[in-house]
């Protein structure tokens, strides 16, 4: 499915990137496709949520999902615009890149390959591009002012992501 492209509704990024924030899509999109990542291309289903919310685009810069037997990062909001997360301090959010894994990780354990692709194709290039250390990677739950927030899920381990980041570091 397609949405109308309406960049005039998005906030333009004015400050340099300092934070990379990891999410999972089940938190804001109620579609079944946003809750369970299977091997079929599903990210387009998130646009149903965008239409329901009357928002301008998917509220993450990238979504990583499994298609056939591989994880694929998909650009879902151009980096030149901000995502809107009222539960995250504006000083952080105005300088953040938001990456979501498709699915829900309070019940499911992310596969090792998912961490590999996340680190190699997205997080490491972003760290290099914006001259950031791995300490700038945060989970949504670490930054949310909602104490109940567990995004991207209890089974997502930041330590595993950091170890993959070190393995694929761009020198
Ligand atoms: Zn989140």
Using CA atoms, how far residue 65 sits from 90, 100, 103, 137, in Å, is 28, 9, 8, 19
What residues are paired with 97 via a beta bridge? 20
Q: Is residue 2 part of a domain?
A: no
- Which residues fall within 8 angstroms of residue 52, CB to CB, at 6 or more apart? none
Give 81's strand partners. Answer: 12
Is residue 36 in a domain? yes
Phi, psi (degrees; rounded to nearest 5) at 150: -120, 10
Task: Measure the CA–CA gap between 59 and 8, rounded to whole angstroms.
Answer: 15
pLDDT value of residue 53: 87
Q: Is residue 94 part of a domain?
A: yes
> Is the pTM value of this prediction over 0.75?
yes
What CATH number is associated with residue 64?
3.40.80.10
| pLDDT score at 165 | 97
19: containing domain: 14-167
pLDDT digits (tens, 9 = 90+) for 3-12: 999 999 999 9
State mean pLDDT over 14-26.
97
Q: What is the pLDDT of residue 108?
A: 94
Looking at the 3D structure of the chain, how many domains does it have? 1
Q: How far is the CA of 18 from the centre of ligand 1 (A)?
A: 17
pLDDT for 32-84, tens place per residue? 999 999 999 999 899 999 999 889 999 999 999 999 999 999 999 999 999 99
Residue 5 lies in a domain: no
Distance 151 CA to ligand 1 centre (A): 5
37 CA to middle of ligand 1, Å?
A: 16
pLDDT at 81: 98
Ligand 1 center from residue 144 Cα (angstroms): 8
What per-residue confidence (pLDDT) applies to 171? 83
Per-residue pLDDT reduced to its tens digit, 116-148: 999 999 999 999 999 999 999 999 999 999 999
72 found inside a domain = yes
CA of 92 to the centre of ligand 1 (A): 14
- In degrees and rounded to multiples of 5, residue 38 shows phi and psi of -110, -170
Q: Does 1 map to a domain?
A: no
pLDDT(1) > 80: no
Residues with CB under 5 A from ligand 1 (ion): 23, 27, 140, 151
CA distance 51 to 47: 6
What is the Å distance from ligand 1's center to 153 Cα?
9
Rounded average pLDDT over 76-101? 98
């Amino acid at each position: 499915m397609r949405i109308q492209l309406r960049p005039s509704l998005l906030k333009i990024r004015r400050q340099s990137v300092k934070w990379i924030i990891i999410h999972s899509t089940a938190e804001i999109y109620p579609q079944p496709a946003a809750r369970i990542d299977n091997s079929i291309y599903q990210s387009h289903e998130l646009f149903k949520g965008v239409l329901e919310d009357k928002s301008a685009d998917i509220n993450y810069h990238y979504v990583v999902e499994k298609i056939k037997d591989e994880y694929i990062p998909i650009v879902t909001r151009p980096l030149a615009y901000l995502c809107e997360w009222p539960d995250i301090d504006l000083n952080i959010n105005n300088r953040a890149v938001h990456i979501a894994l498709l699915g829900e990780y309070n019940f499911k354990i992310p596969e090792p390959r998912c961490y590999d692709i996340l680190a190699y194709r997205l997080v490491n290039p972003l760290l290099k591009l914006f001259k950031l250390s791995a300490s700038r990677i945060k989970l949504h739950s670490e930054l949310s002012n909602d104490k109940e927030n567990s995004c991207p899920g209890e089974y997502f381990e930041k330590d595993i992501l950091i170890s993959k980041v070190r393995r694929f570091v761009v020198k």
